[in-house]
Amino acid sequence: MQFRLGLCAFVGLLLGSSSFAQAPGNGSEKVVALAQAAEAVTVERRDVYNMTPAQGQLLLTWGKMRANLVPSDDPGTPQVNCPKPGAPLSSSSSSGTGSGSGSSSGSGTSISYGLDIEFRLHAVNGFDGFNGERVPYTSASFDRAVEPLVQSNRNILAGKSLEDARRWLIDHTDLDESQTTEITDALWKDRIVNAAPADRRAIYQSMGRSMSFDDQIRFISKLGGAMNSNYDDSRADQAIDANSVAQCDSILAGLASGTPTGVCRDIAICQATILYHMGNKDNVYASSYPVPGNYHVTLMVTDPNNRNRVHKISYNRVSTESNLQGSAALSHDESPDVGTMIRVWRPTERADGTIEGQFAGVLPTEIGLLLEEETSPNPRDVTGGGRFDPFTTRSYSVMHMGGHYGPASGRIFAAKLSNGDVVYGAGVSARWGSAPTGTDGVYNGIDNQGHVGLAYAHRDSTVRFVGADGTVSTEEWNLNTIYLSVHQRVGVPLRVSEHWTLTPYSDFHLEVAAINGGNADESGSWTGDGNIAVNVGGEAVYRTDDAYFRLHGHTQLTLGLTDIRGLLGSTVGVYTNYTELGVEGAYDVTPDVRLNAALLCAFREYGDTCSIGGGTTYTDGPNSHSFNLGVITPVTEAQQPWMPGGSRTSLQIGYEYQRQLNESLLLGAGINYTQSLEDQNFMVNSGLALHWY
């Protein structure tokens, strides 16, 4: 919001007043000190040149802008070069809490303070979904009446085509036509389990040609259940010390011999291997995440005939999601995820023909996004200062109240996740650092800024279980999370001309979470989560009195394993999580009207996304109105509903209103509507905020 308080005229009237005479001492040093205080205090950031310390103090006392005060060459010059009204804003990662601030001055110092109350509502396909919904899942298994008949007649059926074998069983046993699907699945299982390893790929390919996608999901779920029945408990007991790999051929051989083989990560990658050879090359991924006292690996398979639908498979239990997108679509109800991150693994074929589960990316869960928001000095930044993909969406409803005093801030919050879980807690944060303010040469210093955050959250969750007979039961989970995040940014702004600044930069992100609880029997269980990531990038900014242009990009690097199955026995490598490229600009048509436009793309291992949009901001006295319109779309054939930005091409329309109620009170309200251009799916985000400073 742009505050038109007539600062230039007001300062000009008072320049000759003895009550605002210049303080003794080095004017430039005092102005620099005031610049640092002003940057922490106020809402907007402008370049203000040739301002004396007394004039700078006046800005702190009366102004509502975030000013970047630049020392005058002559500290005694009673001259003010005020910014032109409506001049483009420059970005600053040290923007406090995103709200306005008050100041308490004395002896040349100023400490900002403020209070914030915000309520935000998220709804998908209508507000009836506000309470959240857990996706039902089903259990699949091979028919116990069919399997023994297939096994006992294996020698007779050998060499017959699948159709002839099925017909023989119907003609010579008690099986009938109504059991055709169960007979077919049992025959396929018997053939791959008892085949030589060299012959299995041809069988998988034949299955892919003869089965529909839904048939493939049904079969692979049944097979996962059989593998789970042959679970290797001794391997599970070794935990992270189990650094060997259980290959898919070994798991299938174990089914034939009855030797327990494989745990969740081995079984999930084996299921992925079979689907991969069936023809699912870019829509099969495994996901790993913490559960109470442990970790779990499951399968995520996007429907190639409907890229908005994903099947989440844990052994033989399947849930299908077709409405939610992004982090909400990642959520698992069977062995529910309780951590802050979900890691994604892609089946990758090696030179010897075997498949490994290679690291493909790491994405935040909904509670991970919530805890980052509540420990951030700039909670309006959905990406967490570049910690998350630029198309990350907060798909939960939240109410929080907090305040800040100087560099420290704190909040209490209550939220409802998209699956209906209720989370409440508190977070605190502290920021540090400074940005260079000089303009004398190309290099004027280091942009060194960061923050640390700590939060506690309690989560009430109702987990549903589906028995073999289809009976649904529920269980109450109580979870407690302690969350720590650290962010450090280092940049080198280079003022290459009067209007151009080039800034190479690097961001370091660390987050650690400790999670306690679960059901009544797991109340003492602990598990952990976290991530380390580094962004490497740069930006080029062009700025005049009435125009602003920015070209930016960075790549996020993080640690991953070459194969999830081997754990510590796998090679640890540095992987690209995503690469972001964007261009944006703004132009002040009049002092009260600004036009803006932006193009943004994110490139990832599992699918790419781009958006284009524009809008306008109109200021009318104490009121500010912002309108925006844009389109977001996946731009590659590989697209998953759980990736940031989702798999739908969607139209986004937004409106934000702000009103300065008085000198210290700001009211804000906004609504953003996203409509799929492919179906009737839509999403609404709305919010109301009150800031006192």
Say what the pLDDT of residue 245 is: 85
Q: Which two tokens stand for residue 162?
A: 């699948």
Check whether 64 has a pLDDT greater than 80: no
- Measured CA to CA, the distance from residue 504 to residue 435 in angstroms comes to 14
Please say whether the beta carbons of 596 and 585 come within 8 A.
yes
Say what the pLDDT of residue 244 is: 79
Angle between helices 180-194 and 197-210 in degrees, nearest 10: 160
- Measured CA to CA, the distance from residue 313 to residue 323 in angstroms comes to 17
pLDDT category of residue 34 using cuts at 50, 70 and 90: low
For 503, the enclosing helix (H) or strand (E) is: strand 500-518
Instruction: Tell me the whole-structure pTM to 2 decimals.
Output: 0.83
Of the two residues 6 and 387, the one the predictor is more confident about is: 387
Cross-strand pairs, 690? 117, 667
Listed ranges 55-59, 473-477, 574-578; the one with the highest mean pLDDT: 574-578
> What are the strands, taking DSSP E only, across 125-177?
137-139
Q: Within 13 Å, how many C-alpha atoms sit on residue 593's CB side?
A: 2
Residue 501 φ then ψ, to 5°: -130, 130
Task: Annotate 73-114 with DSSP letters as a single string.
Answer: SSTT----BPPPTTPPPPP-TT-TTSS--EEEEETTEEEEEE
Please say whether the beta carbons of 506 and 536 come within 8 A.
yes
Please say whether the beta carbons of 418 and 125 come within 8 A.
no
Check whether 368 has a pLDDT greater than 70: yes
Q: Between the CA of residue 422 and those of 278, 366, 392, 418, what are the distances in Å? A: 40, 12, 21, 10
Listed ranges 319-333, 441-455, 510-524; the one with the highest mean pLDDT: 441-455
Say what the pLDDT of residue 50 is: 40
Check whether 226 has a pLDDT greater than 80: yes
Q: Within 13 Å, how many C-alpha atoms sit on residue 127's CB side?
A: 5
Say what the pLDDT of residue 127 is: 66
Name which of 133, 98, 138 is nearest 114 in CA terms: 98
Say what the pLDDT of residue 59 is: 42
Q: What percent of the chain has pLDDT over 70?
A: 82
pLDDT category of residue 615 using cuts at 50, 70 and 90: very high
- Measured CA to CA, the distance from residue 528 to residue 213 in angstroms comes to 36
pLDDT category of residue 474 using cuts at 50, 70 and 90: confident
pLDDT category of residue 578 using cuts at 50, 70 and 90: very high
3-state secondary structure of 164: helix
Say what the pLDDT of residue 639 is: 87
Name which of 678, 684, 692, 693 is nearest 125 in CA terms: 684
Say what the pLDDT of residue 212 is: 96
Q: Between the CA of residue 353 and those of 247, 276, 349, 636, what are the distances in Å? A: 12, 12, 6, 26
Of the two residues 514 and 434, the one the predictor is more confident about is: 514
* Mean of pLDDT over the chain: 83
Torsion of CA 67, 68, 73, 78, to 10 degrees: 0
> What are the strands, taking DSSP E only, across 107-178?
109-124, 137-139
Range from 160-174, 239-253, 611-625 carrying the lowest mean pLDDT? 239-253
- Measured CA to CA, the distance from residue 389 to residue 385 in angstroms comes to 10
- Measured CA to CA, the distance from residue 293 to residue 527 in angstroms comes to 5
3-state secondary structure of 456: strand
Q: What percent of the chain has pLDDT over 90?
A: 64
Where do runs of H (alpha helix) occur along 1-52? 7-14, 27-41
Amino acid letter, residue 103? S
Check whether 309 has a pLDDT greater than 80: yes
Say what the pLDDT of residue 92 is: 30
Q: Which two tokens stand for residue 199?
A: 């012959």
